[in-house]
């Protein structure tokens, strides 16, 4: 059996695909059940967060496992397999271990170094344990992943490389200002009472907001979170709970709203956001014109500045004349045509910018001679006028030495958007807040897609290299331990067989020598046991060492063949070990 992971994340798929592939809680449960029911998989665990969906399994066949896990992900996500496949990644055996350890350390997070992923890994393991889909391999893997993640955070400064997604999102809302200064005195609305929403509420409370309103479908959970926030040390925040049908009224009074629910549809439509802002400012909300989407990426501009800049660039492209079709084939032209700047005629001023006087004169002669020649694919010939212009430029060049480079005018800066009266942070996948709210005047919306764009340029701490070394060392150690553990049942079965042989021979000796007293019988039995132990010691120690090395899995099979060990005896030892491991893993998970 071997470890396999099939998944997609913000690194492999656009947000639009991740959003559609997001799994509800019921779908996650059903996916795990169907995975272990499938033929190639014996164990399964699912790591599903706002920016990744990864299915881990212990499979007996690689290709069949990849096909089955990919099909199951497509079926339960509702995204067609043909559409989903280009965005899926596959990791196998040591690469799968390396991937999970990297994820646990925050190296694969949208915000490098964030520690929230550890809680999500812990929740994934607990769910697999509760559903009995995690066996010895996945229990060991996820437990070790949690330990590696904690080690990375305690031994390095990876925390300095990034923050939680919540903190990063609030920094984007603050738009360069200190989050504490920006949040101080504001009224906040938090929609949802799960782990992400709770973290957002606690972060806002520490940042100094004056009031936090918690809205949740289960009112008791909202009340419990509000009570925790009110009683927390170090904050003076006023927290209260409301039901979900009150969020539109509360949004009118809020300065900042954070939403992260498990809803499959929108929690806040653009119309609801516009109504809230209108109720706040007492005037209709303007809607900025949308920018055309990039058909390849599906992205649109996120702010007015971005959209207007894109419009300027588009207009510039449309107004720029295309180069003549004959560029590169103008016979006798002294220009370096392959290096000619795109968009300028070989006859015009733009083409000769930067030439020295001698080259300009050659070019003027070439243009003048070609004035009566009709060049197919070019503008109508006007050689005399061009020759006069170039001659004038040559005179300038004889004084300055070179014609100055001709530069296109910079696009005019777009008018800045007014200061938002409502800041929205959408951490849900699929999204809770309508993306059209981006274009509402007075609204600043940060969502998973804009966070992904912002984090692409975020600086990484030097400690990341140290964490990568920790991950590599831990992967090697885990692989060695896994391979050594694989041969342990065979070694135990071998020693059990040897003990039975010793016991059988001692019994036979007593039958042949009935007059032996207890002292001599004991000495003989002890001697035989020592001989057997010494004969087995070196081979069993060495076979464990060899099995721990890469490619050492075959030593267990060789040992069973050489000593003709009963396969059922080996399997019984394995089952006993797995039961003990499951018990220990559950205890460790409760303590983590």
pLDDT tens digits, 114-167:
888 999 999 999 999 999 999 989 999 999 999 999 999 999 888 765 567 888
Measured over the CA atoms of residue 525, residue 527, residue 533 and residue 539, the dihedral's sign is negative
Q: Is 192 annotated as a binding residue?
A: yes
Q: Mean per-residue pLDDT for 257-275?
A: 90
The span from the first CA to the last CA of the chain, in angstroms, equals 28
Report the alpha-carbon distance of residue 171 to residue 450 in Å, rounded. Answer: 12
Q: Are 338 and 329 in contact (CB under 8 A)?
A: no
User: What is the predicted pLDDT for the residue at 45?
Assistant: 97
Which range is least confidently modeled, 173-182, 213-222, 252-261, 290-299?
A: 290-299
Q: Is 115 annotated as a binding residue?
A: yes
Q: Is 414 annotated as a binding residue?
A: no
Q: Is 49 annotated as a binding residue?
A: yes
pLDDT tens digits, 87-98:
999 999 999 999
Place of tokens 């968009």: 343
Q: Mean per-residue pLDDT for 363-388?
A: 54
CB neighbour class for 25 (10 Å; exposed up to 12, middle 13-18, buried from 19): exposed
User: What is the predicted pLDDT for the residue at 64?
Assistant: 92
User: What is the predicted pLDDT for the residue at 569?
Assistant: 62
Between residues 562 and 193, which one has the greater pLDDT? Answer: 193
**Which DSSP helix (H) or strand (E) runs through 538?**
helix 518-548
Q: Are 5 and 91 in contact (CB under 8 A)?
A: yes
Task: Classify residue 158 by its DSSP letter.
Answer: G
User: What is the predicted pLDDT for the residue at 321?
Assistant: 41
What's the whole-number average pLDDT of the chain?
A: 78
Task: Classify residue 43 by its DSSP letter.
Answer: E
Structure tokens at 566: 């009963």
Catalytic positions are 50
User: What are the angstrom distances between the C-alpha of 343 and each of 55, 317, 347, 366, 398?
Assistant: 51, 10, 12, 21, 27
Q: Is 110 annotated as a binding residue?
A: no
Is beta strand 41-49 parallel, antiparallel or unpaired with respect to 52-59? antiparallel
CB atoms within 10 A of CB 334: 17
Q: How far is C-alpha 385 from the chain's CA centre?
A: 60
Q: Would you place residue 313 in the very low, low, confident or very high pLDDT band (cuts 50, 70, 90)? A: very low
User: Is pLDDT at 420 greater than 70 in this prediction?
Assistant: yes
User: Is pLDDT at 346 greater than 70 in this prediction?
Assistant: no
Report the alpha-carbon distance of residue 117 to residue 126 in Å, rounded. Answer: 14
Task: Classify residue 353 by its DSSP letter.
Answer: T
Q: Would you place residue 309 in the very low, low, confident or very high pLDDT band (cuts 50, 70, 90)? A: very low
Between residues 485 and 330, which one has the greater pLDDT? Answer: 485
Q: Would you place residue 385 in the very low, low, confident or very high pLDDT band (cuts 50, 70, 90)? A: low
Q: Would you place residue 295 in the very low, low, confident or very high pLDDT band (cuts 50, 70, 90)? A: very low
Q: Mean per-residue pLDDT for 70-94?
A: 94
Q: What is the pTM of this model?
A: 0.61
Q: Is 116 annotated as a binding residue?
A: yes
User: What is the predicted pLDDT for the residue at 304?
Assistant: 38
User: What is the predicted pLDDT for the residue at 110?
Assistant: 81
Q: Are 476 and 175 in contact (CB under 8 A)?
A: no
Is beta strand 52-59 parallel, antiparallel or unpaired with respect to 89-92? unpaired
Angle of CA points 434, 120, 109, to nearest 5°? 70
Report the alpha-carbon distance of residue 461 to residue 210 in Å, rounded. Answer: 33
Q: Is 52 annotated as a binding residue?
A: yes
Which range is least confidently modeled, 60-69, 202-211, 491-500, 552-561?
A: 552-561
User: What is the predicted pLDDT for the residue at 546?
Assistant: 73
User: What is the predicted pLDDT for the residue at 461?
Assistant: 53
User: What is the predicted pLDDT for the residue at 405?
Assistant: 53
Structure tokens at 225: 């979170």
List beta partners, residue 92.
Answer: 4
Q: Mean per-residue pLDDT for 38-58?
A: 92
User: Is pLDDT at 573 greater than 80 in this prediction?
Assistant: no
Q: Is 180 annotated as a binding residue?
A: no
Phi, psi of 93 (to 5 degrees): 50, -120
User: What is the predicted pLDDT for the residue at 496?
Assistant: 83
Phi, psi of 56 (to 5 degrees): -105, 140
Between residues 322 and 247, which one has the greater pLDDT? Answer: 247
User: What is the predicted pLDDT for the residue at 227?
Assistant: 92
pLDDT tens digits, 449-476:
888 777 765 555 567 888 999 999 999 8
Q: Is 195 annotated as a binding residue?
A: yes
């Amino acid at each position: 059996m071997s470890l396999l992971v099939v998944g997609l994340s913000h690194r492999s798929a656009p947000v639009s695909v991740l959003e559609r592939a997001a799994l509800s809680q019921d779908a996650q449960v059903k996916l795990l059940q169907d995975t272990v029911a499938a033929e190639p998989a014996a164990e399964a665990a699912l790591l599903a967060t706002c920016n990744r969906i990864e299915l881990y399994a212990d499979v007996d066949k690689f290709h069949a496992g990849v096909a089955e896990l990919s099909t199951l992900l497509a079926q339960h996500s509702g995204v067609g397999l043909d559409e989903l496949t280009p965005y899926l990644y596959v990791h196998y055996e040591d690469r799968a271990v390396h991937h999970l350890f990297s994820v646990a350390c925050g190296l694969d997070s949208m915000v490098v170094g964030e520690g929230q992923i550890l809680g999500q890994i812990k929740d994934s393991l607990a769910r697999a344990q509760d559903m009995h889909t995690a066996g010895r391999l996945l229990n060991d893997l996820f437990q070790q992943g949690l330990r590696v993640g904690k080690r990375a955070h305690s031994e390095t400064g990876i925390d300095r490389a990034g923050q939680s997604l919540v903190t990063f999102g609030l920094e984007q809302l603050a738009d360069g200002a200190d989050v504490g200064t920006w949040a101080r005195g504001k009224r906040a609305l938090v929609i949802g009472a799960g782990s992400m929403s709770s973290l957002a509420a606690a972060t806002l409370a520490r940042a100094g907001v004056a009031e936090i309103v918690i809205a949740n479908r289960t009112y008791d959970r909202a009340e419990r979170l509000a009570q925790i926030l009110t009683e927390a040390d170090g904050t003076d925040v006023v927290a209260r709970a409301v039901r979900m049908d009150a969020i539109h009224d509360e949004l009118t009074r809020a300065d900042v709203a954070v939403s992260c629910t498990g809803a499959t549809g929108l929690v806040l439509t653009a119309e609801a956001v516009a109504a809230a802002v209108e109720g706040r400012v007492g005037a209709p909300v303007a809607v900025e014109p949308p920018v055309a989407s990039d058909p390849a990426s599906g992205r649109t501009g996120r702010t007015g500045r971005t959209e207007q800049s894109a419009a300027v660039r588009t207009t510039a492209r449309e107004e720029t004349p295309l180069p003549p079709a004959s560029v590169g084939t103008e016979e006798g032209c002294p220009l370096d045509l392959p290096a000619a700047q795109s968009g300028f005629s070989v006859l015009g001023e733009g083409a000769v910018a930067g030439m020295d006087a001698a080259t300009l004169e050659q070019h003027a002669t070439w243009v003048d001679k070609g004035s009566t020649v009709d060049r197919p694919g070019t503008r109508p010939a006007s050689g005399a006028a061009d020759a006069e212009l170039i001659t004038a430029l040559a005179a300038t060049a004889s004084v300055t030495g070179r014609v100055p480079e001709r530069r296109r005018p910079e696009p005019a800066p777009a008018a800045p958007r007014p200061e938002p009266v409502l800041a929205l942070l959408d951490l849900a996948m699929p999204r809770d807040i309508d993306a059209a709210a981006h274009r509402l005047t007075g609204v600043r919306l940060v969502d998973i897609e804009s966070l992904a764009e912002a984090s692409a340029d975020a600086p990484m701490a030097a400690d990341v290299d140290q964490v990568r070394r920790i991950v590599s060392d831990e992967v090697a150690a885990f692989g060695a331990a896994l391979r050594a553990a694989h041969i342990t049942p065979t070694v135990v079965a071998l020693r059990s067989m040897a003990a039975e042989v010793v016991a059988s021979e001692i019994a036979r000796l007593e039958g042949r020598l009935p007059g032996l007293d207890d002292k001599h019988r004991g000495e003989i039995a002890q001697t035989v046991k020592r001989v057997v132990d010494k004969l087995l010691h070196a081979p069993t120690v060495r076979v464990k060492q060899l099995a721990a090395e890469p490619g050492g899995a075959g030593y267990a099979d060789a040992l069973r063949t050489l000593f003709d060990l009963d396969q059922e005896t080996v399997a019984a030892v394995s089952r006993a070990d797995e039961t003990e491991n499951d018990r220990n893993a559950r205890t460790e998970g409760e303590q983590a």
